[in-house]
């Protein structure tokens, strides 16, 4: 019996020694972390493609430790429900529009004001700078990845060309959030809805026009249902988009994993802003190919539109004060960045 135990012991020692020599793993590899990402952009849209690429970059840079299942086109949560979906564990990561949950983000609402934006690259830079400086409390329930914003948002109409303010009277114009106030200030009737519903609204005549950046003509095929584009750049707005993660999921990641993701986020801010601008160029080209006509307002008419839109900014400042936010300080900060 003793001899048998001695042989067994010797065999066990020999196996362990071989394992050490050959580099055989002695611990089970940790299972990968599986996350979900919800986005309302259709799969063909450049910002959807960039979001999908972000997911792959995270998996690559974490060596497969983090794997992300991507849900474009609002298949997991609709645009207006995306933020709550992240908070309530329906998705781990979400991309949507700050203005779709009106009143929730008192600081970031200022970014959407008609302040005369000139490019997506600059608007994206402003978005992130505003959040970093003023820390909108509406996002406290999540971990912010980054923000992005599109290029100049202007007016597009189905049948009626708009060459002066008076041409807007009685027109039903798609808007959202603070843009509804802009539409009213310009003399039209706001029709509030998220972007995925706009094509059919224009096609059916539920709306006579819409406010959006030029890229939407191709990205959402809106050039199929609009004929005129009024380039009212003096009061051009932008849209602040958030990309956020569920806070518990973020806190479950290791510090190294968090650093990797934050590094990727910085790269994607730049990529997203640049993509909005190149998409605007493509959107204008597609619009013209479809027979669309651009209307350039005179300097005098631009000044009239800017003056008409001014009360919208004043309304925001008053509203923000009630929310405990110094709206004037936020607006002044944005305008200083636009001037630079």
- Return the CATH number at 302: 3.40.190.170
List, for the chain, all residue ranges whose pLDDT scores fall below the cut of 50.
1-27
Is 257 part of a structural domain of the chain?
A: yes
SS3 of the chain: the string is CHHHHHHHHHHHHHHHHHHHHHCCCCCCCCCCEEEEEEECCCCCCHHHHHHHHHHHHHHHHCCCCEEEEEECCCCCCCHHHHHHHHHCCCCCEEEEEHHHCCCCCCCHHHHHCCCCCCCHHHHHHHHHHHHHHHCCHHHCCEEEEEEEECCCEEEEECCCCCCCHHHHCCCEEEECCHHHHHHHHCCCEEEECCHHHHHHHHHHCCCCEEEEECCHHHHCCHHHCCCEEEECHHHCECCEEEEEEEHHHHHHCCHHHHHHHHHHHHHHHHHHHHHHHHHHHHHHHHHHHCCCEEEECCHHHHHHHHHHHHHHHHHHHHHHHHCCCCHHHHHHHHHHHHHC
The answer to whether residue 298 sits within a structural domain is yes
2 inside domain? no
Do 273 and 124 sit in the same domain of this protein?
yes
- For residues 183 and 231, membership in a common domain is answered with yes
For residues 144 and 233, state if they share a domain: no
Is 1 contained in some domain? no
Q: Identify whether 323 is part of a domain.
A: yes
Per residue in 202-247, pLDDT (tens digit) is: 999 999 999 999 999 999 999 999 999 999 999 999 999 999 999 9
**263 burial level (CB within 10 Å; 0-12, 13-18, 19+):** exposed
Structural domain that includes position 194: 153-237+282-339
Block residue for tokens 């640049």? 274
Query: Do residues 191 and 328 both lie within one domain?
Result: yes
Q: 41 and 170: one domain?
A: no
Q: How far apart are CA 320 and CA 138, in angstroms?
A: 13
Same domain (yes/no): 306, 207: yes
Question: In this predicted structure, what is the pLDDT of residue 214?
Answer: 98
Tokens describing residue 10: 């010797």
Same domain, 189 and 309: yes
Pair 276, 296 in one domain:
no
Question: Residue 253 falls within a domain, yes or no?
Answer: yes
* 192 and 47 assigned to the same domain: no
Q: Assess if residue 28 is contained within a domain.
A: no
Q: Residue 67 has what pLDDT?
A: 98
- Please tell me the pTM assigned to this model: 0.88
For residue 29, the model assigns a pLDDT of 64
Residue 22 lies in a domain: no
290 and 141 in a common domain: no
For residues 45 and 139, membership in a common domain is answered with yes
Output the CA angle 45-47-49, nearest 5 degrees.
70
- Counting the structural domains of the chain, the total is 2
Answer yes or no: do 56 and 142 share one domain.
yes
> By percentage, how much of the chain surpasses pLDDT 90?
89
Q: What would the pLDDT profile of 137-166 be if each residue is shown by its tens digit?
A: 999 999 999 999 999 999 999 999 999 999
């Amino acid at each position: 019996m003793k001899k048998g135990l001695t042989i067994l012991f010797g065999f066990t020692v020999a196996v362990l020694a071989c394992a050490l020599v050959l580099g055989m793993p002695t611990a089970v590899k940790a299972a990968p972390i599986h996350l979900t990402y919800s986005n309302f952009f259709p799969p063909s849209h450049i910002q959807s493609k960039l979001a999908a690429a972000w997911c792959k970059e995270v998996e690559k840079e974490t060596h497969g430790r983090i794997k992300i299942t991507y849900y474009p086109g609002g298949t997991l949560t609709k645009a207006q429900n995306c933020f709550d979906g992240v908070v309530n564990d329906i998705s781990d990561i979400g991309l949507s529009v700050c203005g779709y949950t009106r009143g929730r983000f008192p600081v970031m609402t200022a970014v959407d004001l008609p302040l005369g934006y000139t490019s997506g690259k600059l608007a994206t830079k402003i978005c992130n700078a505003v959040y970093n400086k003023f820390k909108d409390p509406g996002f406290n329930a999540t971990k912010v990845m980054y923000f992005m914003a599109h290029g100049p948002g202007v007016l597009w109409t189905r049948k009626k060309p708009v060459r002066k303010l008076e041409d807007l009277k009685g027109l039903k114009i798609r808007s959202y959030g603070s843009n509804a106030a802009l539409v009213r200030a310009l003399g039209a009737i706001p029709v509030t809805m998220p972007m995925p519903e706009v094509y059919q609204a224009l096609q059916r005549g539920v709306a006579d026009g819409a406010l959006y950046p030029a890229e939407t003509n191709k990205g959402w095929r809106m050039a199929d249902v609009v004929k005129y584009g009024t380039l009212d750049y003096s009061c051009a707005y932008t849209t602040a988009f958030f990309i956020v993660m569920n806070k518990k999921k973020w806190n479950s990641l290791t510090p190294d994993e968090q650093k990797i993701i934050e590094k990727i986020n910085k790269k994607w801010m730049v990529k997203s802003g640049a993509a909005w601008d190149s998409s605007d160029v493509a959107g204008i080209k597609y619009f013209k190919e479809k027979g669309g006509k651009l209307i350039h307002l005179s300097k005098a008419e631009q000044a009239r539109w800017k003056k008409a839109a001014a009360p919208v900014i004043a309304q925001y400042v008053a509203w923000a004060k009630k929310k405990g936010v110094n709206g004037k300080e936020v607006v002044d900060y944005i305008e200083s960045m636009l001037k630079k």
